[in-house]
Structure 1
Amino acid sequence: MSAPVLLIHGLMGSLRLPDLGPMLAPLVSSAPDLLGYGEHAARPESAITLAAQLAHLRDAMDRLAGPGGRVQLVGHSIGGMLAACLADAWPERVERLVSIEGNFSLKDAFWSSSVARMDDAQLQAMQAERLADPAAWLALSGISSPDAQRLDWARQWLGMQPVGTLRAMARAIVARTGAADYPALLQRVFARQPVYLLAGERSRAGWDVPDWALKACAGQRVMAGCGHLMMLEQPETLAAQLRDWLQA
């Protein structure tokens, strides 16, 4: 029987919208909110650190698989970085990992770098603008003429985290991916567990995947006709690909 799947979302939103759980059946899965997001949105900015997020995700592994149980990790964007850090800290708990355009370098964290430099006024203005026009935000990822369902998902994603959460996470991501020892951490993970790489056709060119990772990965795919927010564009196709890898 395949190990349960822990889905780790990116800098904004949730991997429960759309709900991938039923699409991943018969795999058992969980998509918890990170600290500062959704049900944890009241968490103060000062308490949102990389160490706190990893401890939070370790607790999520315990709830999903039982204390000491093994899981499979799926991380999107900065969630890919968190998944790698989790697998490095507790390698005995991780069966395999899927990185959906997860951060390999500061080049991948370009948006986090921008957010990390913003002051309160700039962050509030950015958030207000996007909440007022979610279609324009989707267009940044190449999703043009979204239907009502995708607009609703986008609106909910945009409202799931206060600006303090965005700044705290952006700064944590920039600090970790920019650290001199981060490439070595990733190489340890690739050496210990099967790692799969998934990208969108429109966004793959901007994903800074090093040659060593392409050679060392257990599998890779570029999903046609979508970009970085593939779970909003083609959730069924995404789930089918994850099932293919995670039921192996």
Structure 2
Amino acid sequence: MSASTPIVFVHGLIGTLQVPDLSIHFEPTKTLAPDLLGYGDLKNVPAHEVSLPAQVAHLDRVLRQNFGDEPVHLVGHSVGGAIAALFAHAHPERVVDLVSVEGNFTLKDAFWSASVAGMSQEQAEAMLEGFRTDPAAWLARAGVSAEPLLAEVASRYLAQQPASTVRAMARSVVEETGSPGYLPKLRDVFSRHRVHLLAGERSRPGWDVQDWALRQANSITVIPGTGHMIMLEQPQAFASMVKKALQG
């Protein structure tokens, strides 16, 4: 990993990767964790403008604004892993390495998205409001210890997006990853780029990584004692493993 190559973090269905305890571990390398459409400073983007293809186009604009045509390392978590892979497929010359942190491979990985996609707007709002009322319980369902600091971070995650964004993204995840053309795009990314697979020990068994991807991946890392929210549970270990993969 060259210190001059920026690292860009792409967040998942809920939350952000704008975590100070994460970015500090990569200094002096430039890092960026942009808000996707419908999230954070962009939470007012209408739901009909929110989809995985729209996020790829948005990521293209953001990276050009920040880094011009300079290639970057992409680190995508969960749904962000799918967005990062689709970006690498669309703009192969702009990506040096891709780190997929339990990124979506098939509809099996989108089981929760599929559930949300089938909800009405009212049901999605009620679900998200329930999470916001008790962020510690939301963390516990993800297998994360509800320490005060993590509960505070979880509250910020849950405030990042309206239910309309979550619902629109969930529907797009099901549509894109269920498409016959999705896996061929992933195969193309693996053939063109160094791809690293990163997972939490508790959640790895549920990650539907294809056999061909396991064979072709440049590295496969499982972080002990963690689940799907690796960067919240062990940010230092997560950063260390990402740096190790990119340097390999």
Bucket of the pairwise TM-score, normalised by the shorter protein: over 0.9
* Aligned pair partner of 2:53 in 51, 54, 68: 51
Same amino acid, percent of matched pairs: 48
Is 1:147 the counterpart of 2:128? The answer is no
Question: Matched residues in 1 for 2:66 and 2:202: separation?
Answer: 33
- Find the counterpart in structure 2 of residue 90 from structure 1: 91
Describe the SS at the equivalent of 1:109.
helix
Q: What are structure 2's unaligned runs of at least 5 residues?
A: none
Normalising by the residue count of structure 1, what TM-score does the alignment of the two structures yield?
Answer: 0.96
Task: Kindly provide the CA deviation profile for residues 85-110 of structure 1, in whole angstroms up to 9, marking residues without a partner as x.
Answer: 00000001100100000000000011
CA-CA distance at 1:160 after TM superposition:
0.6
The residue identity in structure 2 corresponding to 1:13 is G
TM-superposed deviation, 1:63: 2.8
In structure 2, the residue matched to 1:124 is 125
CA drift of 1:49 comes to 2.3
Unpaired segments ≥5 residues, structure 1: none
Q: Is the 8 A contact 1:6 1:30 kept in 2?
A: yes
Between 1:196-205 and 1:57-66, the stretch displaced more is 57-66
Change (3 A) 1:86 1:27: same
Q: Distance in 2 between matches of 1:61 and 1:193?
A: 18
TM-fit CA distance, 1:136: 0.8
In the TM superposition, residue 128 of structure 1 has moved relative to its aligned partner by 1.3
Q: Is the 8 Å Cα contact of residues 124 and 163 (structure 2) preserved in structure 1? A: yes
User: Counterpart of 2:183?
Assistant: 183
TM-score (norm 2): 0.96
Single out whichever of 237-246 and 103-112 deviates more from structure 2: 237-246
Q: Secondary structure at the match of 1:107?
A: helix
Aligned-residue CA RMSD (Å): 1.1
Flag as ranges the 4+ runs of structure 1 deviating above 4 A.
none
1:135 aligns to what? Answer: 136
Q: 1:103-118 residue pairs with structure 2 within 5 A?
A: 103-118=104-119
Shift of residue 34 of structure 1? Answer: 0.3
Partners of 2:243 and 2:25 in 1: CA distance = 9
Corresponding letter in the other structure for 2:33: A
Deviation at 1:139, TM superposition (A): 0.8
1:160 equivalent in alignment to 2:155: no
Query: In the alignment, is the contact (CA less than 8 A) between 2:121 and 2:167 conserved in 1?
Result: no
| Matching residue's letter, 2:108 | K
Q: Structure 2 CA distance, aligned partners of 1:182 and 1:95?
A: 21
Is the Cα–Cα contact under 8 Å of residues 70 and 95 in structure 1 kept in the other structure? yes
Alignment of 1:68-79 (within 5 A): 68-79=69-80
